[in-house]
Amino acid sequence: MKKLKEIHWFLLFLVIFLLAYIPGFGWRTYEPLLIGVPFWVWYTIVITVILSITGRLFVHFFWKDS
Amino acid sequence: MVQIFIGMSIVFLIIVFGLGYIAFKRTEATPQEYFSGGGTLGTIVLFGTMFATIQSAFALLGLPQSGYIDGYGMLLGLPFGCAFLGIAIGFLGPRVWKAGRKFNFITVSDFLSHRFQSNTVGIIYWISALGFLAPFIGLQIIGGGITIQIATGGAVTYIQAMWIMLAIIVLYTLFGGLRAVAWNDTIQAFIMITAVVTALILILRTVGFSNVETELSKLNSLELLTMPGPNGVWTFKYAISYGLLCTVGGLIWPQAFTRLYMSKDTNAFKAQAVWFPIACILLLFSAVTIGVFAVTILPDIENTNQVLPILAMHLFNPYIASFVLIGVISALMSTSSSQLLAVSAIFTQDIYKKHINPNASHANQTLVGRISLVVFALIAGIIAMNPPSLVVWIGTFSIQGILALLPVILCGLFWKETTKAGAVAGSFVGLFVMVGLLANILPSSLTFGFMPWVSSNIITLLTVIIVSKFTNSFSEDHIQSYFKLWKRDEEQYTNKSQPQDLVSDSSVK
């Protein structure tokens, strides 16, 4: 059970990691601009925020459960 | 402006020295106290000192410069890489901390030598750490000297400025040790984040959100907004290398790794998984965006590594400009003080105590630590007196080079089957390949388009694994002395009391 949980968390972090980097292959355009900043930069920021939230959940549920 | 900057700097210095003095009064003359702060850092100070140590001159001078020259490309990998560092601290921190508590480790070499029962691995590590870290300290001082020179309008010359800054860093580090550095780091982390976010807000107000595209278009610089940027630097491979460099480098650089020994308990590591991503977004996004937007305001800056100070003096009122400049200086001071303390600890613990005077008393070790700190500071100052044209090369060379033994350290922490021969072979190969790639002795085709540290680490990891598979393992007792301790990692997060077997085993030293 604990191993299964570990795998779930590992996969979750892996997905976030891939989501953060994979779009980098395609970004050759700056449009649309949001508040003067390219969309892809906002995407990177959102992914980092998601990582922070996931980190908080990981700390709360996984380490607490163990 | 100059008077206001000097006045605010004096207030800042009073705080710095005040904390240094309080730390000095609380620091006993033992190496553990001087180099590790007695292992008493709580959650906030651990975060502050880790963050400020990692975010060097590079964050406040290098990132705006990168935004100014190469656009937003840096933001593909770096903030996420730094943010992931928080999670990595959560995983590695408790292991390093527990081993440090049990065996009284102070430096990275202490861990490597004991874990692999090999002085050779420890020696290779401190050779690489000293070799790569010393120039990096000089780099921080160069940045500080130029910043102060600009801030004072040339009233203080570059040479005067860099020696003044070095003297300040040495003074509070010399007496207060790690405790002074960590407390000051925490204050400095707050100042640098606040300064750079304030600067971004004011610059955005000046440029206007909707004018960026038009202004950049007029300057034919729209490529700053795309990947890989106008100079083609930020390819996907380069961006991912940089991001990962920050994740692993932030842990393995000696000044950062040794901080993992210093936590009060393992609970302090939990918060890093949350705080690091938020702080990284604020600092890194703001710094790069400032650089990009600066192109529309001052498109002809020659000294591009001073984009932020020049912009602050050009746009802001003297008080805010001075605050931003102090933020830049804070970043430089926090990193260089940590680096100086790290090299001093390496010299004292890994060279003096192990090879020159094994019977040195605690007071003697602390004295040697203080003397060596001054000597390394002088060396850094001499390097900084004649800023080489190779400043950027030195920076890139240093931050990657220190990672030569990364796979060996990670195998020591996570892979039971790592053998002594595997670790020794990996250390030799790691250092050789890293230097070979960075100095272009080995063909650059070996990097496959990534930064050199990636290929070097893959080759090193394969070496450790292959050699370990064919050589004798350690005794079960030795392996269990670590892995039995680490097995209860997660349990400790919910249990404030620490395991009984964390009672110091000083016999290993």
Q: Kindly identify which residue of chain B lies nearest to residue A17, measuring between CA atoms.
A: B80
Task: Enumerate the residues of chain A whose CB falls inside 8 A of the CB of residue B285.
Answer: 41, 45
Query: Which band of pLDDT confidence, cut at 50, 70 and 90, is reported for residue B290?
Result: very high
Domain assignment present for A23: yes
Query: Which candidate in A63, A64, A65 is best for mutational testing of the B interface (most B CBs within 10 A)?
Result: A63
Whether residue B508 is predicted with pLDDT greater than 60 in this model: the reply is no
Higher pLDDT, B429 or A24: B429
Domain assignment present for A59: no
Q: Kindly identify which residue of chain B lies nearest to residue A48, measuring between CA atoms.
A: B80
Task: Enumerate the residues of chain A whose CB falls inside 8 A of the CB of residue B212.
Answer: 33, 36
Domain assignment present for A11: yes
Higher pLDDT, B497 or B133: B133
Distance CA B449, CA B433 (A): 16
Are the beta carbons of A41 and B75 separated by less than 8 Å? yes
Query: Which band of pLDDT confidence, cut at 50, 70 and 90, is reported for residue B433?
Result: very high
Domain assignment present for A46: no
Q: Average pLDDT of B383-390?
A: 72
Q: Are B184 and B172 in contact (CB under 8 A)?
A: yes
Are the beta carbons of A66 and B494 separated by less than 8 Å? yes
**Angstroms from A20 CA to nearest CA on chain B:** 7
Higher pLDDT, A26 or B186: B186
Domain assignment present for A35: no
Q: Kindly identify which residue of chain B lies nearest to residue A26, measuring between CA atoms.
A: B227
Q: Average pLDDT of B180-192?
A: 87
Distance CA A15, CA A38 (A): 23
Are the beta carbons of A21 and B211 separated by less than 8 Å? no
Q: Average pLDDT of A35-50?
A: 86
pLDDT digits (tens, 9 = 90+) for B131-147: 888 777 888 888 888 88
* Number of compact structural domains in chain A: 1
For CA atoms B478, B484, B485, B486, give the dihedral sign.
positive
Q: Are B87 and B275 in contact (CB under 8 A)?
A: no
Q: Kindly identify which residue of chain B lies nearest to residue A55, measuring between CA atoms.
A: B273
Are the beta carbons of B213 and A33 separated by less than 8 Å? yes
Domain assignment present for A43: no
Does residue B282 sit at the A interface (CB-CB below 8 Å)? no
Residue in B80, B225, B236 nearest the CB of A44: B80
Are the beta carbons of A55 and B90 separated by less than 8 Å? yes
Whether residue A65 is predicted with pLDDT greater than 50 in this model: the reply is no
**Angstroms from A8 CA to nearest CA on chain B:** 15
B164 burial (CB, 10 Å; 0-12 / 13-18 / 19+) is: middle
Are the beta carbons of B273 and A47 separated by less than 8 Å? no
Residue B304, Cβ neighbours under 10 Å: how many?
Answer: 17
Instruction: List, as ranges, residues 86-125 from B with C-beta within 8 Å of A.
Output: 86-87, 90
Are the beta carbons of B227 and A66 separated by less than 8 Å? no
Q: What percent of chain B has pLDDT over 90?
A: 18
CB pairs under 8 A between A and B: 110
Task: Enumerate the residues of chain B whose CB falls inside 8 A of the CB of residue A45.
Answer: 79, 281, 285
Residue in A45, A47, A59 nearest the CB of B273: A59
**Angstroms from B19 CA to nearest CA on chain A:** 31
Q: Average pLDDT of B412-430?
A: 94
Are the beta carbons of A21 and B239 separated by less than 8 Å? yes
Domain assignment present for A13: yes
Are the beta carbons of A37 and B289 separated by less than 8 Å? yes
pLDDT of residue B389: 58
Q: Average pLDDT of B340-369?
A: 89
Buried b (16+ CB within 10 A) or exposed e, B427-450: bebbbbbbbebbeeebeeeebeeb
pLDDT of residue A66: 40
Residue in A13, A30, A44 nearest the CB of B87: A13
Query: Which band of pLDDT confidence, cut at 50, 70 and 90, is reported for residue B439?
Result: confident
Q: Average pLDDT of B278-294?
A: 89
Q: What is the DSSP string of B325-379?
A: HHHHHHHHHHHHHHHHHHHHHIIIIIIIIIII-TT--HHHHHHHHHHHHHHHHHH
pLDDT digits (tens, 9 = 90+) for B59-106: 888 889 889 999 888 888 777 788 788 888 887 888 898 899 889 888
Whether residue B506 is predicted with pLDDT greater than 60 in this model: the reply is no
Are the beta carbons of A52 and B494 separated by less than 8 Å? no
Whether residue B218 is predicted with pLDDT greater than 50 in this model: the reply is yes
Model confidence, pTM = 0.84
Are the beta carbons of A48 and B80 separated by less than 8 Å? yes
Q: Are B455 and B448 in contact (CB under 8 A)?
A: yes
Task: Enumerate the residues of chain B whose CB falls inside 8 A of the CB of residue A20.
Answer: 80, 243
Does residue B138 sit at the A interface (CB-CB below 8 Å)? no
DSSP B154: T
Query: Which band of pLDDT confidence, cut at 50, 70 and 90, is reported for residue A27?
Result: low
Domain of A15 in residue numbering reads as 1-29
Domain assignment present for A10: yes
Are the beta carbons of B236 and A20 separated by less than 8 Å? no
User: How high does pLDDT run on average in chain B?
Assistant: 84
Query: Which band of pLDDT confidence, cut at 50, 70 and 90, is reported for residue B493?
Result: very low
pLDDT of residue B489: 55
Distance CA B326, CA B400 (A): 28
Of the listed ranges B123-127, B233-237, B364-368, the one predicted with least confidence:
B233-237
